[in-house]
Structure 1
């Protein structure tokens, strides 16, 4: 069985690797082709080109790379058309992936599956109807998403969010991490400015002065900043001039599993997190780490998103539990003046978020079958019907 996969960012690489593991548990005649990152490559994919070429977000950020991305879309579609796989599975990154699917469908009847339902409940609701012209099946991470996809005519399976079955550090691991840093008792703030270059370069100029202000208010507070290989040098340059720079967790040159364990321990050890919006908020929820969400995009993207947004919060734990307990500061509200008091408040009253994050994990399928296996079963079942 030939399977072509596309993932465009680190979160998609995780989903793709888990799906590949699930497929391999069910079939032993698989050939994997496509585009992915190191986790998918570890499962047997030879990436057609580096995945990080696709890791851009925001309208103003995409425009300079438009023609290059357009070429990559065509290259992927041509590869699928030539390969004639049993199924093409595109993972998140809808602006890229759905354009590939459109070209593939125009050329033949290859079955197309999209993993991660686009957030039509948040903005651009007509995307579901447009998507249905080139996608046969959707694998949804959130329990409330299938009706939106099914109404547009696509099969949609809620497969659960992989965060619920990912390992979480125990208290002893968190304490060992603190001891390793020489911070056995100090409060720790985890700083998470995102994994994409566009996110890091936009958010760190806000997060760095926020850290400086927090350090003045709480001299005992220490900062830990996990990063990713592609943006590690940018992060180091941005924080170099700080009076009290964060401890940077850099995966460069490290074994992936060792770094993952260290990052999980950091999540568990932290007393509070300041994080970019996105999947990382669910990783924090899994670790029961109190958080403040802050995010900004370019002024052009701000204007467009504001007009199209249909919800009053973008934080997934708030949406899944229908609460607004986790504070967030978005767009023009993503300022040092707003962020610092929120972080200090959460640091002083962390228990307010505890029930929300536990409910979030339950609703996402904690304790059930592995989402990667559920996704694999849904893909194979779709091929059989």
Structure 2
């Protein structure tokens, strides 16, 4: 094993940046002087990662239309990265999520003799089951964040390790609501709604207007409510403009980042489907999941959907424990009504909220592992092999 391994990584979007930064922290426990480089974001950079391209360059939305618009740029970046890694092969390549980008790159690198690890199993159990063969060709090993995935991959001859979900280790089992509200300048009493419209550019286009119009209806019903929006820095200006267009610029507190603090502070969240919904579940917060995309993308995705649920909390619980309002169902009126139901349940301390919190606490226990250590040990074994 090299004393200072050279580790290439690609992480796309804010969620991948977070997962990769936690993995980097664990690997530095084994190799304090490791070199890590590739495509990453600010949280990876805080771990000493050398980002040749920023992770937000990989952010795409939907299944076909939006991806086609970005295809030329994505292919060019992948071609340049592949050439650079083939010219100076790393000790291991770790693709963090972003399967459309990473699996093809991993396949080429593996064929050339570079060991490859894919961190976060693509959701072959939810949709895109055809990706199984791509994973088998691409990855020497898959690091799985959900406990049922290794057995599923083993049926297809793919080596995998369950490492738990990194977020379950960093999110406290009992979030400090009072401290979070104080940090954000929110009152200790009274309802707080967190609005998380997503971290991708097209999500701002398709989702944010419906969310903010729903927020206007919620405010009309509950004038004293506080509403806070954690915005990805690159999208904050557009989110602020959307709030202004919806006449909500004075009603919404828009902050840069701080999504975990916002989730800890809120009573309920209106949230776009994605990793953030799992974060909200780990914070034990009632939520309404909404999502909208280009109509063509939606039709294509629905044909490949293997389960009745879209949101991660519902998929993991195998039940509609929180409402999902997707595409045409995600009207401002429907979103507002679902949020107001949760807010009323929180105010009355109903059994519905208690039952949900118990489900989410059990989920937290299942997902909480020493992910950094388990993942780093699996990567060490791959490098030593």
TM-score by length of 2: 0.92
**Which of 103, 108, 115 does residue 98 from structure 1 map onto?**
103
Shift of 1:172: 3.4
Alignment-derived partner of residue 264 in structure 2? 268
Please give the alpha-carbon distance, in whole angstroms, between the structure 1 residues aligned to 2:129 and 2:177.
Answer: 43
Alignment-derived partner of residue 283 in structure 1? 279
Alignment-derived partner of residue 316 in structure 2? 320
Shift of 1:339: 1.0
SS in 1 for 2:61: coil
Shift of 1:279: 1.1
Contact 2:109 2:115 in 1 (8 A): no
Q: Quick check: 229-238 or 43-52, which moved more?
A: 43-52
**Which of 280, 302, 309 does residue 305 from structure 2 map onto?**
309
Shift of 1:29: 4.6
Alignment-derived partner of residue 254 in structure 1? none
Evaluate the alpha carbon distance shift between residue 103 and residue 238 of structure 1 in structure 2; reply closer, same or farther with a 3 A threshold: same
Alignment-derived partner of residue 73 in structure 2? 68
Contact 2:12 2:56 in 1 (8 A): yes
Q: Quick check: 270-279 or 348-357, which moved more?
A: 348-357
Shift of 1:175: 4.2
**Which of 230, 233, 236 does residue 237 from structure 2 map onto?**
233
Alignment-derived partner of residue 186 in structure 1? 190
Q: Across the two proteins, how many residue pairs are aligned to each other?
A: 369
Please give the alpha-carbon distance, in whole angstroms, between the structure 1 residues aligned to 2:288 and 2:183.
Answer: 22
Alignment-derived partner of residue 250 in structure 1? 256
Please give the alpha-carbon distance, in whole angstroms, between the structure 2 residues aligned to 1:46 and 1:336.
Answer: 42
Contact 1:209 1:336 in 2 (8 A): yes
- Listed as ranges, the gaps of 5+ residues in structure 1 are 252-259
Alignment-derived partner of residue 89 in structure 2? 84
Contact 1:15 1:372 in 2 (8 A): no
Please give the alpha-carbon distance, in whole angstroms, between the structure 2 residues aligned to 1:33 and 1:265.
Answer: 29
Alignment-derived partner of residue 58 in structure 2? 54
Please give the alpha-carbon distance, in whole angstroms, between the structure 1 residues aligned to 2:153 and 2:134.
Answer: 11
Evaluate the alpha carbon distance shift between residue 175 and residue 336 of structure 1 in structure 2; reply closer, same or farther with a 3 A threshold: closer
TM-score by length of 1: 0.92
- Listed as ranges, the gaps of 5+ residues in structure 2 are 347-352
